[in-house]
Amino acid sequence: MSELFFAGLDVGGTTMKGGVVDDTGRMLSAINLPTEPQRGQDFGLERMCETIRQGVREAGLAMDRIAAIGVATPGLMDIPAGIIIDPPNLRPWRNVPVKSHVAQVFGLPTAFQNDANAAAYGEYCFGAGKGCHSMVLFTLGTGIGGGIILGDRVLEGAHSHGGEVGHIKVELTHPRPCGCGLFGCLEAYASANSVVKRMQELLVEDATPCSLRGRAEFTSRDIFDAATSDKLAAKIVEQTAYYLGIGAMNLMHIIDPEMIVFAGGMVHAGDGFLERIKHHVRELAFPIPATRTEIRYARLGSDAGLIGAAACGRQLYHRLNGAG
């Protein structure tokens, strides 16, 4: 009996990451190459294939041991068609036929997915969500990404816009501008960037002494670190837990998943922060989902995209072979 191996590729604006994951979700290898989008999309497609090749080699495998490939990319895309349409982080790429190219080069079943959806699917299959049947992931970074998994399927949406959980409008009266160009999105309140922005504003409004005052730059990590001893930082962190509680509540009332998972840098804030999110969810949501929905941190860290991409390849393989 030969073991099954899947190649994953997670394409980002700066680097792309390739590697091999086995049928149980174990990651055998992971290598990075620079994306260099400015060199154009033909170069980009070749770089993708090269990253997959090097990832497979790094795992000590020949290419013919790979059962299927999964590719995850950011940006506006047509998921079923396997095309990146107009990716803000991969300029000047446009209408790049990723799936068909990779499938043709390697002659292997190739899955294509949005990177945030792939990360959610990775956590669902092999991370925090292992064993559950429905899950919503919030990834807290520069923005808020995420994905929704219902019964082993990524909720891609009819126009590849499913699971844009950072772009629920949560404020009408004084909506904060969001990185997406809209106003009042959850992302404008609870992303790492928004945490920093809110802290900067609070330092202007409130003269209470604060260790971050006068610093030319600080990160959301600095704010979370300062919050243990610093009143203003603690206030921002508590508000952030409240905003994330609202994000969770909204998804609980729409999707009502078995589990909600938070990923990204804020995970390092530890159990106390997660407890505050849970506290707000209990105050905000309907009693049954508030009591029964599992809320936890992600487990795969920055490998979620790669593992999730490979898991999408794995799902495709098992479907083609009648086991999914």
Residues that bind its own copies (CB under 8 A): 76, 133-134, 148, 150, 155-165, 167-174, 180, 182, 246, 249-258, 284, 286, 288-289, 292-293
Cα radius of gyration (the chain) = 20
Cβ distance to its own copies smaller for residue 170 or 306: 170
Cβ distance to its own copies smaller for residue 45 or 155: 155
Contacts of 169 (CB under 8 A, 6+ apart): 175, 182, 183, 184, 185
Cβ distance to its own copies smaller for residue 105 or 150: 150
Cβ distance to its own copies smaller for residue 2 or 173: 173
Cβ distance to its own copies smaller for residue 69 or 244: 244
Q: How far is the CB of 291 from its own copies (least distance, A)?
A: 9
Cβ distance to its own copies smaller for residue 293 or 315: 293
Question: Is residue 15 a contact partner of residue 44, using CB atoms and an 8 Å limit?
Answer: no
User: CA distances (Å), 164 to each of 137, 242, 277, 286, in order?
Assistant: 10, 19, 20, 23
Question: Is residue 210 a contact partner of residue 231, using CB atoms and an 8 Å limit?
Answer: yes
Do you know the residue count of the chain?
324
Q: How far is the CB of 187 from its own copies (least distance, A)?
A: 11
Q: How far is the CB of 289 from its own copies (least distance, A)?
A: 5
Task: Name the token pair of 283.
Answer: 């105050």
Cβ distance to its own copies smaller for residue 110 or 293: 293
Give dist(CA 25, CA 123) in Å, integer. Answer: 10
Q: How far is the CB of 165 from its own copies (least distance, A)?
A: 6
Q: How far is the CB of 297 from its own copies (least distance, A)?
A: 19
Q: How far is the CB of 146 from its own copies (least distance, A)?
A: 9
Give dist(CA 54, CA 41) in Å, integer. Answer: 19
Q: How far is the CB of 271 from its own copies (least distance, A)?
A: 23
Q: Which of 235, 305, 227 is nearest to 270 (CA)?
A: 227
* Mutual angle of helices 41-58 and 98-106, in 10-degree steps: 50
Q: Which of 306, 324, 315 is nearest to 8 (CA)?
A: 306
Give dist(CA 227, CA 231) in Å, integer. Answer: 7
Q: Which of 120, 263, 259 is nearest to 190 (CA)?
A: 263
Give dist(CA 186, CA 176) in Å, integer. Answer: 9
Q: How far is the CB of 111 from its own copies (least distance, A)?
A: 18
Cβ distance to its own copies smaller for residue 35 or 113: 113
